[in-house]
Structures are given as C-alpha cells and as structure tokens.
Structure 1
Amino acid sequence: MNVPIRRLATVVLAMVLVLMGATTYHQFFQADKLNNDGRNVRTLYRAYGVFRGPIVVDGKSVALSTPVDDPFKFQRKYTDGSLYAAVTGYYSLVFAPTMIEASENSALNGTADELWMQRLRQLVTGEQQQGASVELTLDAKAQEAAAKALGDQKGAVVAIEPKTGKILALYSSPSYDPNQLAGHDTAKVNKNWQKLLNDDGSPLTNRAIAGDTYPPGSTFKLVTSAAALESGDYTPDTVIAAPHRLKYPGSSKELKNFADEVCSSSGKMTLDAALEMSCNTAFAGLGVKVGNDAMVEQAKKFGFDTPLSIPMTVTQSHFPPTTDDAELMRQSIGQGDDRVTPLQIAMVSAAIANGGKQMAPYLVDTVRDSSLRVVSKTSPSTLRTSVSEHTADELKSMMEDVVRSGTGVAAQIPGVTVAGKTGTAENTPGQPPHAWFTGFAPADDPKVAVAVIVEHGGQQGAEGTGGATAAPIAKAVMEAVLNG
C-alpha cells in the first residue's frame, strides 16, 4: 500500500505545484497583458469606472466625464467638440484614444507617477479614484477666430507664442464632433466612424500636425533667404538675378513666376524686393548659388527632418538633399519634394520673431490633481538656434515689407506692424494651388506667430492665392490674440 500511496501523493503534489505555478504565472507575469487585452471587458469597466479628468481651455472644460446609469459609470463629453477636436481627440469604447486623450491618458485617468499622492489619499479616505485635469495653452478666442475665418474650407491654422512656444491655436478643417465616437452604444459609434471615414473631407485627418504634409510654396523662401543671409555673402540689399524665366539645367523647360509675371525689367533686384514680391526665378537661382548642403542645413535648423511631439507626435517636415540643380531650384521655392506641416511653418516664423531662437512648441500648460494641486507645469525651453539674431532682424524687416507693400497686404492690422510671407503652392496636377500665409505681430514685440493653409485655394479655387485667401485668416487670428 505504501508504494501506491507514495505515487499518488507525488502525482497530487506535482499537480498542486503545476496549479500554483500556472496561477502565479498568469496573476503576476501575465497580469499586464491580460489586463490590457482588448477582449477583457473588465478592463473597459475599470477604465470607464474612473472619473476621467477634464481637458481645460481658458478655465473651461472642453472635455469632461459625466455620470451615467450604465456599467461604465461615466460618459466622456466634449462641450465644444468640433472646435477642439484636432487637439482633444476622442476617448472611445471602440477605438484607441487620440491626441491629448491619448498622450495625456495616464494623467487623465489618474495613473501617472506624479499622482501617487492623490492615489494614496484616495485609498486611505476611500474616495473614488479620479484623474487629473489637463490645462492647455490654447487661447479660446484665437481658436474660435481660426475656425470662423477658415469656415468650411479645407485647411489648417496654427498659432504660437514666439517667446515661449505655447500653442495658442491649432485647428484643422473640416473638423468633427468627438461625441460621435465617445458614446457607449458601440453599434452607433461604429456607424459614426464609418461615416467619418467615408467623408470626402477626411475630417479625422489632423491637417495641422499630421496626415498628408504639404508643399510649402513660397513660404519656404524664408528658409532660402535665411540660408543666404547666414552664409555671410548676402544682405537684404544684395542684388540678385531675377529673370523673367529661368531655364532648368540641361533642359529646354523653364521655371516661371506666378502668372508668368516679370519681376524686374532689368532682370535683377535686391533680395528684399525679391521676397516682397515673391519672385520665383530669383529664389530658384539663389538656392542653387547657396548650394544643397547649406539649404539642407538651414532647413534642419528650423526643425525639418527632426522628430517632434507637442505632446502628440508631429509628422516630420522634409527637405530632401539633392545633387540635381533643377530639383534644387524647385525645392528652393517650396516645390519639388519639399513637404511641411502648418505647425512647421508657424515654427519658422516664430523662430524669426524670437530673434532666431526656436522654442519648443507645447500644448499642455499645467496638470492638476483632484484637489487642484499643481503636479506638473511645462517650462518653456529652447529647441535650437535657427538663425543668428542679426539674420533674424534682417528677415523680420524683409517680412514687414511683404505685408507693408508686397504680396501680404491683406494681413495688415491697423496700428500694428505685421511681418509675413505668402505662398501659393502647386500640388496635385489639375487642381488649384494651396494658399499659404505665415507671419507674426507686432513685429517689434511679437506676441503671436501664425501659419495658415487653405487647400486648393478654398472657395476662390484657381483664383485663390496666399495673399488673397490665407492672409485674411491669419489677420483674424493675430487680432484675436492681440485684442485679448
């Protein structure tokens, strides 16, 4: 009897050890994986059972959690949904969160390391777990002005405070209502999602920082000007070639100015005058003289081809190196393979406005726990020196001339000196060009730098230009900031 009993005991002991090992493995080593498995509905109940903190703009909650009578306990609500969708994103039962809802998720749901004191207090007192409030840098009036001025045209607006990097406005059009994706009726949420996906306007695309990047057109002439001035071989008064048309090397094809206009009857003009009237042939030739290496380096100094988060990840803008002078001609006027986000163009203007120092752009100003104690606050930081202070002053003066008497007169603000640059960028063959404007104000003490793109000329279509279409939008946003 002893032998069979020993064998049975050994088998039972082995089974207990296996059971204990399996339990330990799943409860400890596999815990995170199981908790985060999308099929684990308890994870959803737990996540939605927490009072998610609000997202705040100018003291007003633009995203908040409200109690509901269902197993999820709280419903995410967006009070000005379409106005802030490009910033807040959405928090959904069905789809992964986006934008601030994603990048600040740990703060909003209360699990961030900085909130350990709050969690301890709630554990001791038996309070319900709460997330932190996330206060944004946005200026509500500037955001509203951007949305109103852009209207139903496709495009985007970004505004930055040059001295700090605070993002004052970030709007993408057409927009959408995040409430459509935040509901607890999953069938309805899926239906809304498909409708948004099938919308010809692509409202889910954040045109300000992501999605398809754009050719910058003549706004890139600021980078070309900067490269020339930084070389030490040019000043705003340097006379450069500005022919009616410019032949591409090794080709019978010619580069033309906008509307085939003549920049100068003499075929020459100063660098300042060339920027003022946005002469293509002058800047195409200038880019070749400055050279590919200097152009690539200057673009990088403004932030091209460099990772960036605000805290959402921003699609990198691109200025590709080339050994082909014909391609360099196109790229030097913002065509060819140049690609940018509106945020990048706003950063170029902001760096010039800030004496050549490019500040890190950011959207999150302050995070507060449920007792309103500040747990984190963003401090302004310098990303890089884009140009010297002397070059920045020269560029600023040249941009003032653009708005005073050049292509950007529609951006003029009474009693305020505005600096700017227009752009009209060819894109899809057979489609009207994109309309661009970037600039800052007041020029002598910049409070706001802005970039505007209106796809395919907006309502003006083929007649749309940066000066006629985008500049008035930029003006409205700058005025909103300056008027408080």
Structure 2
Amino acid sequence: MAKKKKADRRLTTPMKGKLILVFGGIIFLFLILVVKLCYVTATKGKEYETAVLSQQKHDSTILPFERGKIYDRNGNILATNEKIYTLILEPQNILLQDKKYEEATINALHEYFGFSKSKLKKTIEDNPYSYYEVYKKNMTYDEVEKFQKFLDLADASTKGVSKAKKAKIESAKMVKGVSFEEDYKRVYPYNSLACRVLGYTSSGNVGNWGIEQYYNSQLNGVNGRAYYYFNEELDQEQSVKEPKNGNSVVSTIDMQIQKIIEQKLKDFDDKIGSKVTNILVMNPQNGEILGMTSSYPYNLNKPMDEKSLLSLYSQSEIDKMKAYTKQKQAEEATDSEDTSEDSKDGTKKKTDDQKTIYDAFNELWRNSIISDTNEPGSTYKPFTVATGLESGALTGNENYFCTGSLMVGKRNIGCSHVHGNITLKDAVAKSCNVAMMNIGFKEGADTFYKYQNIFGFGRSTGIDLPGETDTKSLVYNASNYSNSVTLATNAFGQNFNCTMMQMAAGFCSLINGGNYYRPHIAKQIQSDNGAVVKDIGKEVLRKTISEETSATIRSYMQQTVESGTGTKAQIEGYSIGGKTGTAEKIPRNKKDYYISFIGFTPVESPQLLIYVTIDEPNVSFQANAGLAVELEKACMEEIVDVLGIKPETTDTSNTDNASTEQKDDTTSATTEASSNTAKNKENTSSSTTKSKKNTKDAANQ
C-alpha cells in the first residue's frame, strides 16, 4: 500500500496576504491611538490633569489672626498675646517609611517632651491612615523651641562636623510626620490691674466685659488659611491666604495712676474695708477716664479662678452654688420636669438666694462704677445751686436760717447741724439740707427736674464700656413727683439714684465751664503696624451751665475744702475744690450709709477730678464722709505729680481740719413718706458686692 504524502506546512501566498493585512490593520490602529493620545494631551491635558488631581486629598490649615493689643495712654501694654502651639502627628506619613523612622520619631518626641513611648506608638499605629492627629494643645514657645531647632538640623550638612553632631543631624532627618499649628493666647502682663476696665477674652476671641467686649470687633481680625495640593509631579505644594490681624486700642487709662488708686484702695480695704469701695479719676476738660477701680479685683489671666470668689462668698456658699449649677445643667440637659413641692406646675422656682456659680462670677466681673446705682447724697447739692443760679431763681446773695430741720407737709426733715443764719456759699460748704430744700422749692419742680435731666441724671452717659445701667426709672420728673417731700429730698441728693459715672460726668460739666463731655475709655484705634485708624477725641454732648455759673460753683466748692466739710482734702500749695456726701440708705435707720467725696484741682481751671465712694464702711459710725475725703487726698497727692500739675504760689491749705468733717446730708428718721420709701426699695440697684469684714446685707438691696 502506498504511503500518504505529508501535508505542506508552508504559508501559502493567500495566507501571507491575510496576515499582512491583519498586521497592517493593527499597526494602523496603534498609530491612530498614538495620534489620538497626542491630540488629547495637547488639547485637553490640563483639564484631565485637574480632574485627576481633584480626586486627590486636599488639606487646608487655619492661620490664626493676632488679636489687637490694648495700651495705656503712654504706650504701656495692658493686654497682649502669646503664641501657643498644637502638636500634630501624621501617622500615615510616619508609617510609610521604614520602621526605623517610626522608632526615631517616637524617640525624639520622648527625649524633648517626655511623652510616653508606648502612648505615642499606640496613637500612631491605631490611626495608620490618618494625616492629622492632635496630640497636645497649648504648648508654649519655650516647650517647642528646642525640638524645632532639632528638626531644623535635617537641612544641615554633615561634612566637617563632629561625630556627635553628625549623629544628631542624621537623627533629625529620620523624624517624620510631626508638625505644629500656631495659635494665640490672650495675656494680661499685670494680672488684675484695671481688670474691670479691660475685661477678658474667652474661647474663640470673644471679649467679655470692659474694653475687650466693647471694642471686640475692632480687636478681632480675620483668619487666614493655607491650602495644600499636589502639582503635576505629584509634589505637595501650598497656597497661603495671609491672616489679617486685629486693630489695637490705645486707652485713656494712665497705668501709673491706675496703680496708685489700686494700691490706695487696697490699703483702705486692708485697714477698714467696706461693702464696696470705688475710685474714679477723670480729666474734666475732655471726659477722659484716667483710672477706675473697685474693691475685690480678679486675675484677668484666670478670670474663673474660684479662689477670687472667696472675697465675696464663703467656701460653703461657693459649694452650694456649684451644686445648684450642676443641678440646673442636668435639668436642662434632660428637659426633666421639677416635681418638688414648691413647684406644682413643673417649673423650678428660683429663690433669691439660689445662684449659679456663673451668677457669682458675674458679680465679681461687673463694673460697679457704671453698673450699680445709689443715692448720691450731698455731692448733688452743687447741682441744685447751679440750677438756681443758671435759671435765675437765685442771685447768689441769698441767706437762709437753719434750725436743724424743716417741716415739709407733715414730715420733719432734718439737717446734720443747726447752722443758724447761713449764706448760699456756706450752704454748699457746710452742706445744709434746710437751705437746699428751700432752694428746691424756689426753683420749682419744672425747673429742678429739667436741669437734673440736662446734667445727665436718668440718662445714659454714652461711655464706651458695656454694662451701663439704665436709670431712667430711678429719677423723678415734674409730672410724676408725688409731693413736696420728693422735691425737698431730691434737692439734697436723696430719694433718687444714679451711677458714679453719671455723677462724675455731670460734675465735670459743673466745673469745666458747662461742657458735658461724653466720658470715654478709648483714645485711639491703631492698626497692627501702629498706623492710626481712628482718633477718639473729646465730644461735647450738650451745654449744661454758663462759664459764669461754673466759676461761682467752683468757688463755693473751694470753700468746702478750705473751711467746710472737706478740709481734710487740703494739699499744701494746691487750690482744691470738692463736695462731701453722706447718703442714709433705706430704711432710714441711721445705721447704713453711702459716703463719698468728689474733689478737683486746680480750682481756676480743673485738670483732675477724683471721685471716691464707700458703701457701708466697716466702722461703728458709718456717716463719716471724712473716710472718703482722706482716701481721695491720698490718691490726689501722688496723681498731681504723675500729671505734672505744679503747686500754686498761694498756699490754700487751712489748719482747721479737726472737727469739720461731718455727717452732712442725713435726714431724720421721719424723712420719707412711706410711698417714696417703697419706690426706692423697688428701684434702687445698689452694689451687691459683699465685704470681707461685713457680710450684713443692705436693707435696700
């Protein structure tokens, strides 16, 4: 049988043609793809690149602004900022490297900060995909400085350095995934100095009380931001929007004067003490406040330090307030209904003695000079006389006869002394209630209350500080005074209320020629580089009296210091005017008094006004305005030197100091009609601050 012929395995011509055709097609398609890719790259490359990069993780970091500083009038810093740092760990960046980098990073953090190695390792390995783990906040520059210098060694060369230095550099190069975020912490260099003038800040640069609150929008700036992204080489880059720092406030406060009055007040409180004592210093020619202080200062760097509350409350009272605060917070959190016996409708009834710890702190922080009201007493008498002179009801030549009291309707209203025949000038100097009541009647209710309003009583002073009390309801007017007793007692400064700031602002107009200046605490607004943004100068709100009347009133008050109730205010070589005040508090039991003295110098052209008030001094006989006079004098003796007020050639001192300080405006036990007493009980908003030495509550609180 014949063998079969082997099949020919060679490619035939038709097959070769087909293969060439297929291969050519593939080459053609590949060329089309290449052309297409080139086209896309040339025309839409950036668009696709952006799309790809947009899928990458983009981070941003806030760059904090620096809050504006607060200066005194001479450029001394009263409030500033300190940089603080937050330590950030980036576990993913640390773990992306060799294990030895993680170990080096942990060792470095332990060496420079004392952090636990095990805790660091746990934080890193428990968050392997995180780029941002906050490890420690509020680190100071001193804490961070040495570590930052160590990290900077990573960029240093190892050529020609010692073996130890070379090891240090190599160690720094191995630290990965560690960074610091910067922020600012508010700092008050002098702790409690001018605490109620400055106020303080809380989290988020929020001003609380004082200049910090009133000028918060000026002091705050705008945060910047750093944006991180990847470029076309996939290297991380950043774009920075710089922060805008806040403006600074130059205050009218003189730090030297502030230190003086705070020390003098402390000396008084240590020696005698009171429910609360206040000192206010002003320039009567422009309304600038040069100093302002009250009893019981607190540390602005630790505004919520419970220890500061011990000046107002006992530890047991503080513990009760803390417990009540915790109870209230729990109730609010759960919206639970109170089922206590004193609340049938499910609403917790708060009694007068129930305070939260925050209520207590608010009492500590508030500025009693602008927030508390009291009956001014005889410091108001110059206003009564000025009203008569300005309106024409008085000529200045009047004489009065004081028998020690005056029957007004069915009320026998007393005077501190039996003055007998007394001139108008002596009526001010010796503080005669009987004369003032007669003057008030001569003026009439319409005129009296018209000028009381012009002098600013019952009106806002417009001071640039938060917390000024509305006193509109605490004064009378011609249409609603109840009877002649009201007018009589108002004429010598009782049966209506005002703040210290209202009294001082009006008093400045009495002695400066009749210009009522808006009292102000800020002198200038500056940018963060020191450029002046705004000047805050004197602002006349209205005219109160003429220069002639003002000169007459100044002369009357000079006699008060030379031979009247304020002789202890004399300082050799200086012409000084002033007025004492001794207001008997409600109820008129002749036991609780609000004493005061307001003095100024020089008499001819006053450059300095000091107002001192003492609420219930810790002495057996409270109605002694001499205490306020002596405190005012102690302040003035040093402040005239600070301001450069030179002694005059004429010695205006008077050696007759002995027994002229007196209770100058108190009324008899039957002074007030019961209706007037009730009105004042309801409206009086006296200081609620307690004394270290005298915890008895005032009857008119």
TM-score, normalised with respect to structure 2: 0.55
Asked if the contact 2:457/2:503 (under 8 Å) is kept, the reply is: no
Q: What does residue range 59-458 of structure 1 map to in structure 2 within 5 Å?
A: 59-70=75-86, 73-93=183-203, 97-110=208-221, 126-151=241-266, 152=269, 153=273, 154-181=276-303, 197-198=359-360, 202-210=363-371, 212-249=372-409, 251=410, 253-258=411-416, 261-264=417-420, 268-313=421-466, 314-317=468-471, 318-321=474-477, 322-336=481-495, 338-429=496-587, 431-456=591-616, 458=617
Shift of 1:202: 3.9
RMSD of aligned Cα (Å): 2.8
Shift of 1:74: 1.8
Asked if the contact 1:438/1:451 (under 8 Å) is kept, the reply is: yes
Paired residue secondary structure (1:138): coil
Aligned equivalents of 1:67 and 1:461: distance in 2?
Answer: 52
Q: Deviations over 1:42-97 (max 9, x none)?
A: xxx97x94311111113221111211234672221222232211111111129862
Aligned equivalents of 1:205 and 1:241: distance in 2?
Answer: 44
Shift of 1:316: 4.2
Aligned equivalents of 1:276 and 1:449: distance in 2?
Answer: 18
Structure 1 gap segments, 5+ residues each: 1-44, 112-123, 184-189
Paired residue secondary structure (1:66): strand
Aligned equivalents of 1:412 and 1:312: distance in 2?
Answer: 33
Paired residue secondary structure (2:559): helix
Question: What is the letter of the counterpart of residue 132 of structure 1?
Answer: N
Asked if the contact 2:191/2:301 (under 8 Å) is kept, the reply is: yes
Paired residue secondary structure (1:291): helix
Shift of 1:205: 2.8
Asked if the contact 2:461/2:505 (under 8 Å) is kept, the reply is: no
Shift of 1:208: 0.9
Asked if the contact 2:218/2:246 (under 8 Å) is kept, the reply is: yes
Paired residue secondary structure (2:71): strand
Shift of 1:196: 7.4
Residues 1:129 and 1:283: Cα distance change in structure 2 (over 3 Å): same
Aligned equivalents of 2:256 and 2:546: distance in 1?
Answer: 33
Give the number of the structure whose alpha-carbon radius of gyration is greater: 2
Aligned equivalents of 1:370 and 1:96: distance in 2?
Answer: 18
Are 1:55 and 2:70 an aligned pair? Answer: yes
Shift of 1:363: 0.8
Paired residue secondary structure (2:555): helix
Q: Which moved more, 1:163-172 or 1:303-312?
A: 303-312
Aligned equivalents of 1:441 and 1:342: distance in 2?
Answer: 19
Aligned equivalents of 2:636 and 2:454: distance in 1?
Answer: 25
The equivalent residue for 1:6 is none
Aligned equivalents of 2:637 and 2:393: distance in 1?
Answer: 37
Q: Deviations over 1:281-331 (max 9, x none)?
A: 221222122111111111112111222332124324553121410111111
Identity, in percent, stands at 29
Question: What is the letter of the counterpart of residue 418 of structure 2?
Answer: V
Aligned equivalents of 1:196 and 1:323: distance in 2?
Answer: 40
Q: Deviations over 1:365-405 (max 9, x none)?
A: 11111111111111212111111111101100000000011
Paired residue secondary structure (1:82): coil
Aligned equivalents of 1:445 and 1:323: distance in 2?
Answer: 40
Equivalent residues, number: 410
Asked if the contact 1:419/1:439 (under 8 Å) is kept, the reply is: yes
Paired residue secondary structure (1:328): helix
Structure 2 gap segments, 5+ residues each: 1-60, 87-136, 139-182, 223-238, 306-320, 326-354, 643-701
Aligned equivalents of 1:290 and 1:243: distance in 2?
Answer: 22
Question: What is the letter of the counterpart of residue 219 of structure 1?
Answer: T
Aligned equivalents of 2:597 and 2:191: distance in 1?
Answer: 26
TM-score, normalised with respect to structure 1: 0.78
